[in-house]
């Protein structure tokens, strides 16, 4: 038995290849992109079908751009993502400085658990919990502005912004800040002249990550928004109940493109060392 | 002048407590090249960090020119540090690094520019002014770190094993360079190293440390020739330790021979340990006539510039004799041969054990 | 001149330590406040709500009641007021659990070979393949679900192609089925399996595989006896990363499952919409959270045991 096995090391034998794995992998990757590709393709369809190609046209993009509800939702999404991601990034930056490069300090575990809490609980659970609390506040105060959405988005953006900032800080040489203090820099100047410039790529990465997360959110937004506060994702979710046209594909394509650009930038920022 | 006054430093508490410095007192004089020498973990770097203000002491005080600076944060102490890993700011140029301390002190722009150029000249780095610190060699980084720490003209410069990352040739160059910088600037240097040769070459005075204590303070000659303890003798240079009997200013070795000594304070007459450096021991020749000591040759090791003979005295004690090799000299001693051994006058040091 | 600095032994260190703790807490405060206000705090309020009485038009009446918790599993018979099992809920729990499990198995079947394939690429190309798998991970979940919906619809591409080829005479109803939900969740959560398995294969020492081959193991024996045990931590991490969001999935079952094929998340939503039973909704939410916590605790236990074994 052993002999027959030893006799046939095939050409190009490598322990790194397993039979069939490459085929499954290629199939998987194609399957991962095919639905998106079809969706994008039919956003340029001249007809109303999302399965029969009737020629190239930009009519659905024109229609989406002209649609006031889409304009309104898009502007709200961008505003919300910008505000929530910015606030979350500032809070996450401070929290990262508080929780890294130290041995234990009282409350560290609690702070750490709290920051990561939004990642541990299913979104739908957080969403209904926020619905309960915000509904009570809305009834009590009569106030129904965007503030609820901003606060909710900021909260779940914090752990995402925190991740790359913390990673960046942990690889940073502590002796640089010691050196700055040795050279007469106060705590604030040490932060501004040394710590901040060095952690900057992490902060930008965190900001972008938080921005994408806020832009993509459906569940929490759906439960927290007051009447007339549609974001792009909740608008689309609402549209799915009606007769769907390639207009949805056109909006989806724009969202995909924006996300892909941000993720590519994120990749460049985090993979570059130093 | 820096006074370290009865300083103790303990890290952690309870079971994991570690005492890095135990009741250390030392006064470092103005314009002195002072070296803290000891094996790793002896507390030398901790003492440096305490002087810089990166850590507070557990007990004791630190005074600079008579002023108590124990509670002063590092950015208010006129003391600068050259870090072991240099800690150059990677996002600033060479000039930016050197200017940093001056900017923090709020010096006017033209004065900063002038000092930066002066410093670059001092460390011979004028051409690399605008380079990034990641684009220069380790030796050059070392010079930038020096220039950066010297630029604000501190009262004291602390150097934490600054040469340990350099290769041997560069290290020798930098040793000379450092001495030159110290005499040109007139700044007090406190230098930390575990390299005894480096310490002996460069220092005005050396403090030998072990286990959080200072064992001996003295100039290089005193440290080398009159070590107070066996640890100091052993840590610095090669040593022979022999047993003898001290009485009335002279020692009679158990292996034979009587030598006049200057016994250190606190050593009473009676049984003592003495140190004799191998280069002060000479093999007198294959005859044993008239020699105070006789020994058997165990082993002979040739190492280029010198030859070391490992001998065994009649008491069974081992002793090494080191002789410089002269041109054309030939014929090593053969093992097993009986030889006479002589010791240079004044070469016997009584140790406090 | 040699007067001792006036402080108690260790006082300076204690002061420095206290200042450090204080500044760390100040720095962490904004994040702590935001998350307490808009994530952790509301969960506590929800615990209270689960013990209240439902209001007629939604919301609650401030009166203690265990109905919310009881209604998660049992209901009162309309005619004789006896307690009977809430079959509708039980079937939804079962669907959530089984579909999450199926999703996990499917992502394993497709994800492990994909991760292996990427990790065994030459280093230069690996970044590209990894990027390919990461992009869908960060692209909008709703958009990806819509892409699947358009594929599966009666007028969708799959049915159209099958009709054209004459394989079927009438469109197959794929939307609003358990199949659609399982397919959709496998599609959207697949990157969550690939990434941790990739990390595990990337760390694998291939000399161990060579050693197995050297000791007469065939490819499959080597895979089963050597490779699989070594990449197990990645596989467990991937499984938990897929299983947990599947269990709490809301968007994908809503879009692909329709009104009849509810999962846990949709059942919760129902109580805050047509159901008008907030205490029940709150109790169901806490149950879902507990289920997720159990899965996480299992994960922590398994991984810490693995670590102590290694």
Q: Which residue of B has its CA nearest to C1?
A: B66
Q: What is the pLDDT of residues B214-239, one digit of tens each?
A: 999 999 999 998 898 899 999 998 89
In sequence order, the 6+-apart residues with CB closer than 8 A to the CB of C201 are: C115, C116, C119, C120, C231, C234
- Tokens at residue B282, please? 């000479």
CB contact under 8 A, B6 and C4: yes
**How far B37 CA lies from chain A's nearest CA (Å)?**
22
Interface test with A, best of C38, C158, C159, C162 (most A CBs within 10 A): C38
Between chain A and chain B, how many beta carbons pairs sit less than 8 Å apart?
59
Task: Please state, in angstroms and rounded to a whole number, the distance separating the CA atoms of residues B226 and B241.
Answer: 13
Question: Are A112 and A147 in a shared domain?
Answer: yes
Is the Cβ of A31 closer than 8 Å to some Cβ of chain B? no
Query: What confidence category does residue C116 fall into, taking pLDDT thresholds of 50, 70 and 90?
Result: very high
Tell me the residue ranges of DSSP E strands in chain C: 52-54, 60-64, 74-76, 83-85
Question: Is pLDDT at C6 greater than 80 in this prediction?
Answer: no
Task: Please state, in angstroms and rounded to a whole number, the distance separating the CA atoms of residues B231 and B222.
Answer: 15
Task: Please state, in angstroms and rounded to a whole number, the distance separating the CA atoms of residues A178 and A164.
Answer: 23
Q: What is the mean pLDDT of residues A183-190?
A: 95
Given the structure tokens 């985090």, which residue do they identify? A270
Q: What is the mean pLDDT of residues A106-115?
A: 90
Question: Is pLDDT at A235 greater than 50 in this prediction?
Answer: yes
Residues 163-182 of A with CB under 8 A from B: 173, 175-176, 178-182
Q: What is the mean pLDDT of residues B181-208?
A: 93
CB contact under 8 A, B58 and C4: no
Closest CA to C293 of C234, C247, C238: C247
Task: Please state, in angstroms and rounded to a whole number, the distance separating the CA atoms of residues C253 and A127.
Answer: 16
Question: Are A129 and A24 in a shared domain?
Answer: no
- Tokens at residue A4, please? 């027959």
Is the Cβ of C6 closer than 8 Å to some Cβ of chain B? no
Residues 38-97 of A with CB under 8 A from C: 38-39, 42, 49-52, 87-88, 90-92, 94-95, 97
Task: Please state, in angstroms and rounded to a whole number, the distance separating the CA atoms of residues B52 and B47.
Answer: 9
What does the pLDDT read at residue C79? 78
Chain B CB contacts of A197 below 8 Å = 91
Please say which residue of A36, A57, A78 terminates a domain.
A57
Residue B129, exposed/middle/buried by CB under 10 A (0-12, 13-18, 19+)?
middle
Contact A133, C297 (CB under 8 A): no
Query: What confidence category does residue B100 fall into, taking pLDDT thresholds of 50, 70 and 90?
Result: very high
Question: Is pLDDT at C106 greater than 60 in this prediction?
Answer: yes
Q: What is the pLDDT of residues C78-102, one digit of tens each?
A: 777 788 888 889 999 999 999 999 9
Domains of chain C from N-terminus onward: 11-84 (no CATH), 86-309 (1.10.3720.10)
Question: Total domain count for chain B?
Answer: 2
- Tokens at residue A221, please? 């937004």
Q: What angle do CA C170, C172, C175 make, to 5 degrees?
A: 140
Contact B189, B157 (CB under 8 A): yes
Q: Between helices B168-185 and B109-122, what is the axis angle to 10°? A: 130
Question: Are B257 and B204 in a shared domain?
Answer: no
Inside any domain, residue A188: yes
Q: What is the mean pLDDT of residues A15-30?
A: 87
**How far B101 CA lies from chain A's nearest CA (Å)?**
4
Please say which residue of B204, B225, B246 terminates a domain.
B225
**How far B142 CA lies from chain A's nearest CA (Å)?**
14
Residue A255 maps to which CATH number?
1.10.3720.10
Query: What confidence category does residue B289 fall into, taking pLDDT thresholds of 50, 70 and 90?
Result: low
Inside any domain, residue A5: no
Q: What is the pLDDT of residues B44-79, one digit of tens each?
A: 999 999 999 999 999 999 999 999 999 999 999 999
Q: What is the mean pLDDT of residues B199-205?
A: 94
Question: Is pLDDT at A14 greater than 80 in this prediction?
Answer: no
Question: Are A227 and A261 in a shared domain?
Answer: yes
Question: Are A39 and A111 in a shared domain?
Answer: no
Inside any domain, residue B315: yes
Residue A126, exposed/middle/buried by CB under 10 A (0-12, 13-18, 19+)?
buried
CB contact under 8 A, A28 and C190: yes
In sequence order, the 6+-apart residues with CB closer than 8 A to the CB of A159 are: A92, A115, A116, A117, A118, A119
Q: What is the mean pLDDT of residues A77-94?
A: 97
CB contact under 8 A, B104 and A176: no
Question: Is pLDDT at A124 greater than 50 in this prediction?
Answer: yes
Chain B CB contacts of A179 below 8 Å = 81, 83, 87-89
Question: Are B210 and B290 in a shared domain?
Answer: no
Question: Are B147 and B271 in a shared domain?
Answer: no
Q: The domain containing residue B250 runs over which residues?
A: 238-350
Given the structure tokens 């020692």, which residue do they identify? B251
Chain C CB contacts of B19 below 8 Å = none
The percentage of chain B sitting over the pLDDT mark of 70, rounded to a whole number, equals 96
Inside any domain, residue A4: no
Is the Cβ of C208 closer than 8 Å to some Cβ of chain A? no
Question: Total domain count for chain A?
Answer: 2
What does the pLDDT read at residue B343? 87
Least CB-CB distance to B91: which of A185, A186, A197?
A197
Q: Between helices A196-216 and A232-239, what is the axis angle to 10°? A: 20
What does the pLDDT read at residue A273? 44
Question: Is pLDDT at C306 greater than 90 in this prediction?
Answer: no
Task: Please state, in angstroms and rounded to a whole number, the distance separating the CA atoms of residues C236 and C230.
Answer: 11
Inside any domain, residue A1: no
Interface test with C, best of A48, A103, A128 (most C CBs within 10 A): A128
Whole-number average pLDDT of chain B: 90
What does the pLDDT read at residue A4? 45
Given the structure tokens 């009849």, which residue do they identify? C260
Inside any domain, residue A139: yes
Residue B280 maps to which CATH number?
2.40.50.140
Query: What confidence category does residue A266 fall into, taking pLDDT thresholds of 50, 70 and 90?
Result: confident
Question: Are B99 and B244 in a shared domain?
Answer: no
Q: What is the pLDDT of residues A90-108, one digit of tens each?
A: 999 999 999 988 877 888 8
The percentage of chain B sitting over the pLDDT mark of 90, rounded to a whole number, equals 57
Chain C CB contacts of B55 below 8 Å = 13
Question: Are B181 and B50 in a shared domain?
Answer: yes
Question: Is pLDDT at A12 greater than 60 in this prediction?
Answer: no
Question: Are B121 and B19 in a shared domain?
Answer: yes
What does the pLDDT read at residue A240? 87
Is the Cβ of A185 closer than 8 Å to some Cβ of chain B? yes
Contact B277, B324 (CB under 8 A): no
Q: Which chains have 3+ CB pairs within 8 A of C? A: A, B
Question: Are A253 and A179 in a shared domain?
Answer: yes
Q: The domain containing residue A43 runs over which residues?
A: 18-57
Question: Are A191 and A77 in a shared domain?
Answer: yes
Q: What is the mean pLDDT of residues C196-212?
A: 89
Task: Please state, in angstroms and rounded to a whole number, the distance separating the CA atoms of residues C193 and C237.
Answer: 8
What does the pLDDT read at residue B305? 85
Inside any domain, residue A28: yes
**How far C86 CA lies from chain A's nearest CA (Å)?**
21
Task: Please state, in angstroms and rounded to a whole number, the distance separating the CA atoms of residues B244 and B242.
Answer: 7
Task: Please state, in angstroms and rounded to a whole number, the distance separating the CA atoms of residues B173 and B175.
Answer: 5
What does the pLDDT read at residue C307? 64
CB contact under 8 A, A173 and B87: yes
Contact C13, B58 (CB under 8 A): yes
What does the pLDDT read at residue C1? 42
CB contact under 8 A, C12 and B61: no
Helices (H), C36-86: 41-49, 67-73
Chain A CB contacts of B81 below 8 Å = 179, 182
CB contact under 8 A, B10 and C16: no
User: Which value does ipTM take for this structure?
Assistant: 0.90
Question: Is pLDDT at C274 greater than 90 in this prediction?
Answer: no
Q: What angle do CA B322, B323, B327 make, to 5 degrees?
A: 150
Task: Please state, in angstroms and rounded to a whole number, the distance separating the CA atoms of residues A266 and A208.
Answer: 7
Give pTM, 2 decimals.
Answer: 0.87
Query: What confidence category does residue B344 fall into, taking pLDDT thresholds of 50, 70 and 90?
Result: confident
Q: What is the pLDDT of residues C231-271, one digit of tens each?
A: 999 999 999 999 999 999 999 999 999 888 899 999 999 99
Question: Is pLDDT at A10 greater than 80 in this prediction?
Answer: no
Q: What is the mean pLDDT of residues B115-139?
A: 91
Residue B45 maps to which CATH number?
3.40.50.300
Please say which residue of B176, B195, B225 terminates a domain.
B225
Chain B CB contacts of A185 below 8 Å = 75, 100, 104
Q: What is the pLDDT of residues A219-228, one digit of tens each?
A: 999 999 998 9
Q: What is the mean pLDDT of residues B198-225?
A: 94
What does the pLDDT read at residue C2? 44
Closest CA to C135 of A261, A11, A66, A236: A261
Chain A CB contacts of B50 below 8 Å = none
3-class state of residue C193 by DSSP: helix
Distances (CA, A) of A144 to A141, A222, A225, A237, C59: 9, 15, 9, 22, 17
Question: Are A28 and A97 in a shared domain?
Answer: no
Give the other-Cβ count within 10 Å of C178's Cβ. 16
Question: Is pLDDT at A274 greater than 50 in this prediction?
Answer: no
Contact C302, C234 (CB under 8 A): no
Question: Residue by residue, what is the 3-state secondary structure of chain A?
Answer: CHHHHHHCCCCCCCCCCCCCHHHHHHHHHHHHHHHHHHHHHHCCECCCCCCCCCCECCHHHHHHHHCHHHHHHHHHHHHHHHHHHHHHHHHHHHHHHHHCCCCCCCCHHHHHHHHHHHHHCCHHHHHHHHHHHHHHHHHHHCCCCCHHHHHHHHHHHHHHHHHHHHHHHHCCCHHHHHHHHHCCCCHHHHHHHHHHHHHHHHHHHHHHHHHHHHHHCCHHHHHHCCCCCCCHHHHHHHHCCCCCCHHHHHHHHHHHHHHHHHHHHHHHHHHCCC
What does the pLDDT read at residue A104? 79
Whole-number average pLDDT of chain A: 89
CB contact under 8 A, A236 and C27: no
Contact C85, C308 (CB under 8 A): no
Query: What confidence category does residue B254 fall into, taking pLDDT thresholds of 50, 70 and 90?
Result: confident
Contact A270, A201 (CB under 8 A): yes
Question: Are A101 and A43 in a shared domain?
Answer: no
What does the pLDDT read at residue A2? 45
Question: Are B205 and B244 in a shared domain?
Answer: no
- C28 or C155, which is more confident: C28
Least confident range of A27-31, A268-272, C70-74, C85-89 = A268-272
Inside any domain, residue A6: no
């Amino acid at each position: 038995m052993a002999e027959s096995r030893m006799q046939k090391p095939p050409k190009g034998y490598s322990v790194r290849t397993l039979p069939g794995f490459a085929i499954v992998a290629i199939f998987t990757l194609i399957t991962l992109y095919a639905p998106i590709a079809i969706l994008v393709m039919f956003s340029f369809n001249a007809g109303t079908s999302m399965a029969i190609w009737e020629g190239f046209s930009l009519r659905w993009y024109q229609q989406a751009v002209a649609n006031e509800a889409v304009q309104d939702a898009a502007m709200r999404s961008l505003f919300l993502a910008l505000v929530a991601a910015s606030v979350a990034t500032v809070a996450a930056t401070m929290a990262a400085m508080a929780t890294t490069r130290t041995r234990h300090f009282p409350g560290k575990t609690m702070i750490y658990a709290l920051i990561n809490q939004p990642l541990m609980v299913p979104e739908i659970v957080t969403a209904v919990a926020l619905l309960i609390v915000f509904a009570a506040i809305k009834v009590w105060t009569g106030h129904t502005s965007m503030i609820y959405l901003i606060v909710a988005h900021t909260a779940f953006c914090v752990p995402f912004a925190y991740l790359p900032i913390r990673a960046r800080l942990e690889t940073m040489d502590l002796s640089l800040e010691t050196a700055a203090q040795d050279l007469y820099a106060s705590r604030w100047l040490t932060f501004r002249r040394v710590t901040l410039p060095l952690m900057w790529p992490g902060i930008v990465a965190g900001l972008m990550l938080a921005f994408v997360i806020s832009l993509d959110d459906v569940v929490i937004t759906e439960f927290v928004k007051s009447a007339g506060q549609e974001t792009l994702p909740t608008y689309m979710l609402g549209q799915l109940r009606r007769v769907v046209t390639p207009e949805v594909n056109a909006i989806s394509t724009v969202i995909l493109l924006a996300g892909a650009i941000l993720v590519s930038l994120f990749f460049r920022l985090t993979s570059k060392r130093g | 002048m820096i006074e370290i006054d009865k300083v103790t430093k303990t890290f952690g508490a309870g079971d994991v407590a570690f005492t890095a410095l135990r009741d250390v007192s030392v006064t470092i004089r103005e314009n002195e090249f002072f070296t803290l020498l000891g094996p790793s973990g002896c507390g030398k770097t901790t003492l440096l960090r305490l002087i810089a203000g990166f850590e507070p002491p557990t007990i004791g005080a630190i005074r600079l020119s008579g002023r108590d600076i124990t509670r002063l944060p590092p950015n208010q102490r006129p003391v600068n540090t050259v870090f072991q890993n240099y800690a150059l700011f990677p996002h600033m140029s060479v000039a930016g690094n050197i200017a940093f301390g001056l900017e923090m002190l709020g010096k006017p722009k033209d004065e900063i520019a002038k000092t930066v150029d002066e410093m670059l000249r001092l460390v011979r780095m004028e051409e690399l002014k605008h380079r990034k610190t990641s684009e220069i060699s380790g030796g050059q980084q070392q010079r930038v770190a020096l220039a950066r720490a010297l630029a604000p003209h501190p009262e004291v410069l602390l150097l934490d094993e600054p040469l340990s990352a350099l290769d041997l040739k560069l290290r020798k160059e930098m040793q000379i360079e450092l001495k030159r910088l110290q005499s040109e600037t007139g700044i007090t240097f406190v230098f930390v190293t575990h390299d005894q040769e480096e310490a002996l070459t460069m220092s005005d005075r050396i403090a030998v440390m072990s286990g959080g204590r200072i064992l001996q303070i003295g100039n290089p000659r005193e440290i080398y020739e009159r070590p107070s303890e066996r640890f100091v003798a052993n840590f610095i240079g090669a040593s022979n330790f022999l047993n003898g009997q001290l009485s009335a200013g002279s020692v009679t070795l158990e292996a034979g021979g009587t030598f006049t000594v200057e016994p250190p304070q606190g050593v009473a007459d009676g049984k003592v340990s003495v140190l004799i450096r191998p280069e002060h021991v000479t093999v007198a020749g294959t005859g044993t006539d008239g020699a105070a000591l006789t020994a058997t040759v165990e082993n002979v090791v040739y190492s280029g510039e010198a030859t070391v003979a490992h001998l065994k005295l009649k008491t069974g004690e081992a002793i090494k004799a080191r002789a410089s090799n002269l041109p054309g000299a030939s014929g090593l001693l053969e093992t097993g041969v009986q030889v006479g051994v002589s010791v240079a006058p004044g070469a016997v040091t009584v140790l406090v054990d | 001149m040699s007067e001792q600095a006036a402080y108690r032994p260790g006082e300076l260190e204690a002061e420095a330590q206290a200042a450090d703790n204080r500044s760390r807490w100040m720095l962490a405060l904004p994040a702590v406040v935001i998350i307490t206000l808009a994530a952790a705090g509301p969960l506590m309020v929800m615990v209270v709500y689960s013990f209240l009485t439902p209001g007629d038009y939604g919301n609650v009446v401030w009166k203690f009641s265990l109905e919310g918790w009881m209604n998660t599993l049992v209901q009162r018979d309309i005619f004789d007021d006896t307690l009977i099992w809430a079959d509708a809920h039980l079937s939804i729990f079962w669907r959530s659990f089984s579909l999450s499990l199926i999703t996990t198995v499917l992502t394993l079947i497709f994800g492990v070979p994909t991760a292996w394939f990427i990790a065994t690429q030459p280093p230069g190309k690996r970044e590209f393949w990894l990027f390919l798998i990461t992009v869908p991970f960060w692209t909008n979940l709703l958009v990806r679900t819509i892409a699947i919906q358009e594929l599966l619809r009666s007028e969708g591409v799959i049915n159209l192609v099958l009709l054209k080829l004459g394989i079927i005479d009438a469109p197959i109803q794929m939307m609003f089925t358990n199949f659609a939900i399982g397919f959709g969740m496998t599609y959207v959560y697949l990157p969550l399996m690939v990434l941790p398995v990739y990390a595990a294969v990337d760390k694998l020492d291939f000399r161990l595989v060579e050693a197995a081959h050297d000791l007469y193991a065939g490819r499959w024996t080597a895979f089963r006896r050597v490779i699989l045990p070594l990449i197990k931590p990645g596989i467990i991490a991937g499984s938990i990363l897929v299983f947990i969001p599947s269990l709490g999935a809301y968007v994908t079952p809503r879009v692909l499952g329709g009104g009849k094929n509810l999962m846990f998340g949709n059942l919760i939503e129902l109580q805050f919409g047509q159901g008008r039973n907030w205490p029940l909704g709150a109790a169901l939410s806490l149950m879902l959270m507990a289920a997720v916590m159990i899965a996480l605790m299992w994960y922590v236990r398994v991984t810490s045991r693995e670590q102590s074994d290694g």
